[in-house]
């Protein structure tokens, strides 16, 4: 595994950072305060190909390999200070676009991918329910055979992009006796389908520019062409989404960690107390040294996970390891960045407290840290 940037990857990184800094950061404090999701910025990102990074060009994508995608998302997390926007883009790309690309019929790919890649359509991924989060396999949403199609009843919660989504990957039980492996089916559903409604939009601690809400399905009829993958094959669709999300969403976190490290270094060099820069105090320098160590380890794990996703048949263990380590490093780095900034770090104006609020979610979504440890334990035969 050679993770040295190729010339093309270097250029992608530079261009993404330049784009993010120039186009995505204005008024981020206000957007965060008012919880505004910006469709204009979404469109700007589509113009540079973010929403379709790994998708073949024939369907409107950029056709990058997984490692190059990780490098672009890292650059986005580094250059873009709007963590909610980056999160919404990743949820759309990794948990909706990728499953459609990997499991969709030719008709589904032709119908949805161009719009999902060019910014016209926003995607969501809906598995969590009010009574089933970590234990998502115990979902209650049911799809029952009706004529040649399916009638779906149930509700989903905490769905990223749910309040603005045009299309959603929705999981429902189709054969209860079979359990998750064989008994759950993924459906690709347009939000204007009769019986589909976006319920409550939640106010949340961080990632406030990324809309999160409920989806409710009431006697919703969908034709057989709405099945994504195979009937009973929901677990395969879910695994694809989780592998991509856990491997690549964390790449954006690596970029955020690097930005926070640089912010901390710069502040520690210029803030004077007791007649010297605070970075000269070993207690502060050690905090920042730990951030650097976490950044380097996180980057290697994220790149390795992305490489394995592209090159091996199964990357679930690497995905869990990368997700656990990088999200916890992000949270620690964000907290220490606030500490390095002292009281200023606690104030909205310095844009450091927002990074901490945003970072908390990373240890919950896409499976909590405890669930990642459970997955790793299972792989170790425990
Ligand atoms: C910002 C954000 C965005 C999200 N986006 C989406 C989305 O787009 N689509 C979607 O479907 N869902 C989404 N979710 C939901 C997310 O996947 C769930 O919140 C998460 O899986 C945890 O489920 P829960 O909230 O029900 O917590 P619970 O499962 O009730 O867990 C509560 C606590 O118990 C622990 N716990 C539970 N079971 C075990 C166990 N077996 N061993 C050890 N500890 C355990 C958990 O780790 C946690 O600490 C999002 C959540 C957040 C915060």
Buried b (16+ CB within 10 A) or exposed e, 32-47: beebbbbeebbebbbe
Atom in ligand 1 nearest the alpha carbon of residue 160: 8
Say how far apart CA 165 and CA 137 lie, in whole Å: 23
Q: How confident is the model at residue 348 (pLDDT cuts 50, 70, 90)?
A: very high
Secondary-structure breakdown of the chain: helix, strand, coil percentages, each rounded to the nearest 5: 60, 15, 25
Does residue 159 have a pLDDT over 90?
yes
CATH of 7-122 among 1.10.4160.10, 1.10.3430.10, 1.10.490.10, 1.10.540.10: 1.10.540.10
Contact at 8 Å (CB) between 83 and 358?
Answer: yes
pLDDT at 95: 98
Specify the residue with its C-alpha closest to ligand 1, atom 40: 371
Contact at 8 Å (CB) between 167 and 190?
Answer: yes
| Pocket residue to mutate for ligand 1, from 158, 186, 373, most atoms within 8 A of Cβ | 158
44 is catalytic: no
Residues 210-247 pLDDT 10s? 999 999 999 999 999 999 999 999 999 999 999 999 99
Residues 84-132 pLDDT 10s? 999 999 999 999 999 999 999 999 999 999 999 999 999 999 999 999 9
Q: How far is the CA of 139 from the centre of ligand 1 (A)?
A: 13
Question: What residue spans define the domains of the chain?
Answer: 7-122, 124-234, 236-379
Q: How confident is the model at residue 313 (pLDDT cuts 50, 70, 90)?
A: confident
pLDDT at 109: 98
| Pocket residue to mutate for ligand 1, from 83, 97, 134, 157, most atoms within 8 A of Cβ | 134
Specify the residue with its C-alpha closest to ligand 1, atom 29: 134
Q: How confident is the model at residue 155 (pLDDT cuts 50, 70, 90)?
A: very high
Instruction: Please choose, from the candidates 295, 225, 298, the residue with its C-alpha nearest in 3D space to the C-alpha of residue 258.
Output: 295
Q: How confident is the model at residue 266 (pLDDT cuts 50, 70, 90)?
A: very high
Atom in ligand 1 nearest the alpha carbon of residue 367: 21
Residues 186-203 pLDDT 10s? 999 999 999 999 989 999
Q: How far is the CA of 113 from the centre of ligand 1 (A)?
A: 28
Specify the residue with its C-alpha closest to ligand 1, atom 32: 134
pLDDT at 270: 98
Specify the residue with its C-alpha closest to ligand 1, atom 51: 365
Q: How confident is the model at residue 39 (pLDDT cuts 50, 70, 90)?
A: very high
Q: Where does ligand 1 bind, in terms of residues with CB under 6 Å?
A: 91, 125-128, 133-134, 158-160, 207, 212, 361, 364-365, 367-368, 370-371, 374
Does residue 137 have a pLDDT over 90?
no
pLDDT at 319: 98
Query: What is the bridge-based pairing of β-strands 142-146 and 276-277?
Result: unpaired
Architecture of domain 236-379: Up-down Bundle (1.20)
pLDDT at 111: 98
Across residues 71-79, what is the average pLDDT?
Answer: 98
Does residue 2 have a pLDDT over 90?
no
Say how far apart CA 170 and CA 116 lie, in whole Å: 16
Q: How confident is the model at residue 1 (pLDDT cuts 50, 70, 90)?
A: confident
Mean pLDDT, the chain, integer: 97
pLDDT at 216: 98
CATH of 124-234 among 2.40.110.10, 3.30.43.10, 3.10.110.10, 1.20.1260.10: 2.40.110.10
Does residue 286 have a pLDDT over 90?
yes
């Amino acid at each position: 595994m050679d993770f040295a940037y190729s010339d093309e990857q270097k250029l992608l990184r530079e261009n993404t950072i330049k784009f993010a800094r120039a186009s995505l950061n204005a008024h981020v404090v206000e957007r965060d305060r008012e919880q505004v999701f910006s469709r204009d910025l979404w469109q700007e990102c589509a113009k540079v190909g973010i929403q379709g990074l790994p998708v073949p060009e024939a369907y409107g994508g950029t056709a990058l390999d997984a490692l190059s995608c990780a490098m672009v998302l890292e650059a986005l997390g580094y250059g873009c200070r709007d963590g909610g926007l980056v999160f919404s883009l990743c949820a759309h790309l990794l948990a909706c676009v990728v499953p459609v690309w990997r499991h969709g019929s030719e008709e589904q790919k032709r119908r949805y991918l161009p719009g999902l890649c060019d910014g016209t359509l926003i995607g969501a991924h809906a598995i969590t329910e009010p009574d089933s989060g970590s234990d998502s396999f115990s979902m209650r949403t049911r799809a029952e055979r009706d004529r040649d199609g399916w009638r779906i009843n149930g509700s989903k919660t905490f769905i990223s992009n749910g309040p603005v989504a045009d299309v959603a990957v929705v999981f429902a039980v189709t054969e209860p006796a079979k359990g998750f492996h064989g008994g759950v089916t993924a459906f690709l559903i347009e939000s204007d389908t009769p019986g589909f409604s976006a319920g409550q939009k939640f106010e949340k601690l961080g990632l406030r520019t990324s809309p999160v809400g409920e989806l409710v399905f009431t006697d919703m009829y969908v034709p057989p062409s709405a099945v994504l993958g195979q009937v009973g094959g929901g677990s395969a669709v879910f695994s694809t989404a989780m592998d991509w999300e856990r491997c690549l969403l964390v790449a954006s976190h690596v970029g955020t960690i690097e930005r926070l490290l640089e912010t901390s270094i710069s502040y520690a060099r210029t803030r004077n107390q007791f007649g010297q820069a605070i970075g000269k105090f070993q207690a502060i320098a050690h905090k920042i040294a730990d951030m650097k160590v976490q950044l380097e380890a996180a980057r290697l794990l994220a790149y390795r996970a992305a490489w394995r996703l592209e090159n091996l048949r199964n990357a679930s263990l690497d995905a869990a390891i990368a997700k656990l380590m990088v999200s916890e490093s992000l949270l620690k780095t964000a907290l220490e960045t606030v500490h390095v900034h002292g009281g200023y770090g606690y104030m909205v104006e310095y844009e450091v407290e927002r990074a901490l609020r945003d970072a908390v979610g990373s240890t919950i979504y896409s499976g909590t840290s405890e669930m990642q440890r459970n997955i790793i334990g299972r792989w170790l035969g425990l």
